[in-house]
Amino acid sequence: MEENLCISPGPHVFDRGSMPKAMRDVIIALIPAIFASIYFFRIRAVILFVVSVVSCVVFEAVIQVLMKRKVTIYDCSAIVTGILFAMNMPPSLPVWTCVLGCFVAIGLAKQLFGGLGNNIFNPVFLGRAFLAAAFPTFMTTWNNPVTLDAVTGATPLGMVKFGHDLSVNYGDLFIGNVSGSVGETSAIALIIGGIYLLIRKTIDWRVPLSYIATVFIIGSVVHTAAPGTYADGLFYVLAGGLLIGAIFMATDPVTGPVTKTGRWIFGAGCGVVTMIIRLWGGLPEGVMYAVLLMNAVTPLLNRLTRPRRYGT
Amino acid sequence: MYNIATMFAKTFRGGVHPAEHKESTVDKKIKLVPAAPEIILPLNQHIGAPNEPLVRPGDTVKLGQRIAESKALVSAPVHSSVSGQVKAIQDFFNPIHGKAPAAVIENDGKDESLPFEERENPDILPKEKLINIVKDSGIVGLGGAAFPTHVKLNLPKGKSVDTLIVNGAECEPYLTCDHRLMVEGTDKIIKGIYLAAGILSVKNIFLAVEENKLSAVFAMEKAVREISTKSARPKEVPLQIMVLKTKYPQGGEKQLVKVILKREVPPGKLPLDVGVVVQNVGTCFAIYEAIYEGKPLIERCVTLTGSCLREPGNFIVRLGTPLRDVVKFCGGFKEPPAKIIMGGPMMGVAQYTQDIPIIKGTTGVVFLSKKEAEIPEELSCVRCARCVDICPVNLLPTEIMRMVKYSRWHRMEELHPSDCIDCGACAYACLSKIPLVQYIKLAKQKELKKK
In whole angstroms, give the CA distance from residue B103 to residue B112: 18
B346 touches chain A (CB under 8 A): yes
State the burial class of residue B28 (Cβ atoms within 10 Å of its Cβ: 0-12, 13-18, 19+). Answer: middle
| pLDDT band at A12; cut points 50, 70, 90 | very high
Q: Return the ∠ at Cα B294 (arms to B293 and B300), rounded to 5°.
A: 80
Sort strands B98-107 and B84-94 into parallel, antiparallel or unpaired: antiparallel
Sort strands B299-305 and B239-244 into parallel, antiparallel or unpaired: unpaired
Q: Do B173 and A13 touch (CB under 8 A)?
A: yes
Model pLDDT, residue B1: 42
Mean pLDDT of chain A: 94
The sheet carrying B313-318 orders its strands as B31-32, B313-318, B299-305, B364-368, B339-342, B349-351
Sheet strands (E) in B286-342: 299-305, 313-318, 339-342
Spell out the per-residue pLDDT of chain B, length 451, in tens.
445 555 568 899 999 999 999 999 999 999 999 999 999 999 999 999 999 999 999 999 999 999 999 999 999 999 999 999 999 999 999 999 989 999 999 999 999 999 999 998 888 899 999 999 999 999 999 998 899 999 999 999 888 999 999 999 999 999 999 999 999 999 999 999 999 999 999 999 999 999 999 999 999 999 988 877 766 555 678 899 999 999 999 999 999 999 999 999 999 999 999 999 999 999 999 999 999 999 999 999 999 999 999 999 999 999 999 999 999 999 999 999 999 999 999 999 999 999 999 999 999 999 999 999 999 999 999 999 999 999 999 999 999 999 999 999 988 999 999 999 999 999 999 999 999 999 999 999 988 888 7
Predicted model pTM: 0.93
Sequence length of chain B is: 451
Residue B39 forms beta bridges with which residues?
B105
B385 touches chain A (CB under 8 A): yes
**A163-187 residues labelled b (16+ CB within 10 A) or e (exposed):** eeeeebeeeebbbbbbbbbbbbbbb
Q: Give Cα separations from B155 to A200, B140, B149, B152, B196 (angstroms).
A: 49, 16, 11, 7, 12
Q: Do B385 and A204 touch (CB under 8 A)?
A: yes
Q: How many CA atoms lie within 13 A of A22 on its CB side?
A: 26
| pLDDT band at A217; cut points 50, 70, 90 | very high
The model's pLDDT over A75-109, given as tens digits with 9 standing for 90+, comes to 999 999 999 999 999 999 999 999 999 999 999 99
Nearest residue, CB atoms, A8 vs list B375, B381, B393: B375
Contacts of A17 in chain B (CB under 8 A): 431
Nearest residue, CB atoms, A5 vs list B266, B351, B388: B351
Tell me which H or E stretch contains A59.
Answer: helix A19-66
| Interface confidence (ipTM) of the complex | 0.92
Model pLDDT, residue B121: 86
Tell me which H or E stretch contains A188.
Answer: helix A187-199
In whole angstroms, give the CA distance from residue B313 to residue A171: 64
Q: Which residue of B has its CA nearest to A305?
A: B396
- List all residues 6 or more positions away from B20 whose beta carbon is below 8 Å from its beta carbon: B173, B174, B212, B246
Q: Do B428 and A15 touch (CB under 8 A)?
A: yes
Cβ contact B210:B245 at 8 Å: yes
Q: Do A309 and B366 touch (CB under 8 A)?
A: no
- 1-30 of B, contacting A, C-beta below 8 A: 16, 18-19
Secondary structure tally for chain B: helices H, strands E: 13, 17
Model pLDDT, residue B59: 96
In whole angstroms, give the CA distance from residue B230 to residue B361: 36
Model pLDDT, residue A237: 97
Report which DSSP code applies to B36. P
Contacts of B388 in chain A (CB under 8 A): 258-259, 307
**DSSP sequence for A154-177:** -SHHHHHHHS------HHHHHHT-
Q: Which residue of A has its CA nearest to B423?
A: A11
Interface with B, mutate which of A1, A15, A113, A303 (most B CBs under 10 A) = A15
A8 touches chain B (CB under 8 A): yes
Residue B299 forms beta bridges with which residues?
B318
The maximal CA–CA distance of chain B, rounded, in angstroms, is 66
Q: Give Cα separations from A68 to A62, A87, A111, A274 (angstroms).
A: 10, 31, 12, 39
Q: Do B424 and A10 touch (CB under 8 A)?
A: yes
State the burial class of residue B440 (Cβ atoms within 10 Å of its Cβ: 0-12, 13-18, 19+). Answer: buried
Interface with B, mutate which of A258, A264, A302 (most B CBs under 10 A) = A258
A253 touches chain B (CB under 8 A): yes
Nearest in space to A305 (alpha carbons), one of A276, A267, A272, A251: A267
Interface with A, mutate which of B340, B380, B406, B432 (most A CBs under 10 A) = B380
Q: How many Å separate Cα B270 from the centre of its chain?
A: 17
Q: What average pLDDT does this structure show over A156-175?
A: 88
Sort strands B364-368 and B299-305 into parallel, antiparallel or unpaired: parallel
